[in-house]
Amino acid sequence: MTTDPLSWLDERASARVAAGLRRELRPRPARSPSIDLASNDYLGLVRHPEVIEGAIEAVRRWGAGSTGSRLVTGTTVEHELLEAELAEFVGAEAGLVFASGYAANLGAVTALAGRGALVVSDAGSHASLVDACRLSRARVEIAGHGDVDAVDRLLASRTEERALVLTDSVFSADGDLAPLAELHRVTRARGAVLIVDEAHGLGVRGAGGRGLVHELGLAGEPDLVITATLSKSLAAQGGVVLADGRVRAHLIDAARTFIFDTGLAPAAVGAARAALRVLRREPHLAGRVLQRAADIARIAAVPAPDSAVVSVVLGKAQVAYDAAQACRARGLDVGCFRPPSVPEGTSRLRLTARADLSPGELDTIATVLGDVLAEARGLDVVRA
Ligand code: PMP
């Protein structure tokens, strides 16, 4: 008798359903009547005519795909222009574009750490940094979230010559900020390198959206490496490492996700360049997204965030799931974070602000969110 080698998947699926943890893919319509509070299109540029035109022009000129690794045929002059423009924007010496932010993190960490190094990562670091630690073959230590003293202690007691410290600048689940100035102080004092993932900081924090590193006066420090995605504020796709020129040269030679991955598609390069042009011309977009986030936080009766992410913790996974569905049924597209993305008992709605939310949309958000949260918060108490 043959047994079904995939039967364990049915058991896993049933367990997830029972725990309120099932996940569904919901294809979005091209033009949705819903209000988007779920995407990472923080500056509302994903349909900006100039950004769309940037993508189209690049495709016309270079074709649909990049045709190969960056080291072979996958580099166009536009890739290099984008790298220089992004580096200049955040105040770094050089930039290197990857096929995604995930690949940028994997590439930067694995190429700069490796066997014989210590990597200290914040407990809240993004999954791509977590995976980068695992792939790095370095000794990995996890410091408590935002715990600079722990980072300092781990660096001080190391036997390894080289050490890397990893953190997000803006944490994606809660939207809180890393203590970057303090982290940089201890990494410098201990002769380590700080890698800061600005995925949620670029376009949102700092003068004109130059990021939290720039805001804190740390731009261009040679012992600080920025990674970022082009898929959030820059409304495109892809990732980038912004750092000292020696880091760029090393990554070209050694970062496996750079060498063995196909170069970023021309459309994404063209779109990201155009979005950066728009942001330079309209630097107020960064401040506006923070204002809209404060508006949404007020509606949800949670503290105003330091980023575009408004996190409304509801507790149980099922309560958060039901609240998200209720919002969606009434035309509010919201994110819902449940374990393993967030710790048990802290399932939440994740609402992302956009710079282009209109007063009318904010009124609708107030009505729908007010009703749904009143019900969800009541339910959680009853079921607790
Ligand atoms: N870092 C952080 C903090 C992120 O939130 C994300 C995307 N969710 C990434 C890296 C990965 O970027 P990308 O989606 O471009 O691969």
Tens digits of residue pLDDT in 218-227: 999 999 999 9
Which of 170, 172, 309 gets mutated to test ligand 1 (max ligand atoms within 8 A of its CB)?
172
Q: What is the ipTM of this complex?
A: 0.99
Pocket flag, ligand 1, residue 172 (CB < 6 Å) = yes
> Which neighbouring-strand residues pair with 53?
none
For range 235-239, the mean pLDDT: 98
- Looking at residue 383, its pLDDT comes to 47
Atom of ligand 1 nearest to the CA of 230: 15
Per DSSP, 170 falls in state B
Handedness of CA 99, 206, 53, 79 (dihedral sign): negative
For range 191-202, the mean pLDDT: 98
Whether 244 contacts 251, CB under 8 Å: no
173: helix, coil or strand? coil
For range 90-105, the mean pLDDT: 98
Q: Which residues contact 68 (CB under 8 A, 6 or more apart)?
A: 74, 262, 263
The bridge status of strand 309-315 relative to strand 117-122 is unpaired
pLDDT surpassing 70 at residue 31: yes
- Looking at residue 241, its pLDDT comes to 99
- Looking at residue 210, its pLDDT comes to 98
Atom of ligand 1 nearest to the CA of 170: 3
Domain 283-383 CATH superfamily? Aspartate Aminotransferase, domain 1 (3.90.1150.10)
What mean pLDDT, rounded, does the chain reach?
96
> Which neighbouring-strand residues pair with 315?
347
- Looking at residue 384, its pLDDT comes to 43
pLDDT band of 158, cuts 50, 70, 90? very high
CA–CA dist 379, 110 (Å, integer): 45
Pocket flag, ligand 1, residue 102 (CB < 6 Å) = yes
- Looking at residue 102, its pLDDT comes to 98
Report pLDDT digits (tens) over 171-190: 988 999 999 999 999 999 99
Task: Say if domain 49-281 classifies as CATH 3.30.360.10.
Answer: no
For range 246-271, the mean pLDDT: 98
Query: Within a 10 A sphere around the Cβ of 154, how many other Cβ atoms?
Result: 22
Report pLDDT digits (tens) over 298-354: 999 999 999 999 999 999 999 999 999 999 999 999 999 998 888 899 999 999 999
| Distance in Å, CA 229 to ligand 1 centroid | 6
CA–CA dist 20, 179 (Å, integer): 34
| Distance in Å, CA 239 to ligand 1 centroid | 8
CA–CA dist 274, 280 (Å, integer): 10
pLDDT band of 381, cuts 50, 70, 90? low
Which of 98, 121, 126 gets mutated to test ligand 1 (max ligand atoms within 8 A of its CB)?
126
Whether 88 contacts 219, CB under 8 Å: no
Whether 214 contacts 90, CB under 8 Å: yes
- Looking at residue 341, its pLDDT comes to 82
| Distance in Å, CA 232 to ligand 1 centroid | 8
Residue extent(s) of CATH 3.40.640.10 domains in the chain: 49-281
Pocket flag, ligand 1, residue 333 (CB < 6 Å) = no
Q: What percent of the chain lies above the pLDDT cut of 90? A: 90
- Looking at residue 1, its pLDDT comes to 64
Which of 41, 86, 102 gets mutated to test ligand 1 (max ligand atoms within 8 A of its CB)?
102
CA–CA dist 109, 368 (Å, integer): 43
- Looking at residue 342, its pLDDT comes to 87
- Looking at residue 380, its pLDDT comes to 58
CA–CA dist 264, 81 (Å, integer): 13
Residue type, 22: R
- Looking at residue 319, its pLDDT comes to 95
- Looking at residue 286, its pLDDT comes to 97
Q: What percent of the chain lies above the pLDDT cut of 70? A: 98
pLDDT surpassing 80 at residue 100: yes
Pocket flag, ligand 1, residue 307 (CB < 6 Å) = no
- Looking at residue 166, its pLDDT comes to 98
Residue extent(s) of CATH 3.90.1150.10 domains in the chain: 283-383
Query: Within a 10 A sphere around the Cβ of 81, how many other Cβ atoms?
Result: 12
